């Protein structure tokens, strides 16, 4: 699902995933890893990406843990 959302918006799955994490109120920071400058720049661009409410809800659904 992250890949699908990323493809539709023309961004990388990493950027889409990081944007989703950064928009969650319970997340205070994220750790990124990059081997190349382009990867770091892409990761940093996630801070500027705004997800729609629909995208946010869909990503929440697919990442939800199964009940124990």
Query: According to the model, what pLDDT value does residue 8 have?
Result: 82
Query: According to the model, what pLDDT value does residue 47 have?
Result: 93
Query: According to the model, what pLDDT value does residue 1 have?
Result: 65
Domains of the chain, by residue range, sit at: 2-55
φ, ψ dihedrals at 3, nearest 5°? -65, -40
Q: What is the mean pLDDT of each run of 10 residues along the chain (68 residues)?
A: 76 91 92 93 94 90 89
Largest CA distance in the chain: 41
């Amino acid at each position: 699902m992250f890949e699908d959302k990323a493809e539709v918006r023309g961004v990388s799955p990493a950027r889409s995933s990081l944007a989703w994490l950064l928009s969650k109120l319970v997340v205070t920071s994220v750790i990124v890893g990059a081997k190349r400058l382009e990867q770091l720049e892409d990761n940093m661009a996630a801070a500027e990406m705004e997800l729609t409410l629909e995208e946010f809800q869909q990503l929440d659904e697919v990442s939800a843990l199964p009940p124990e």
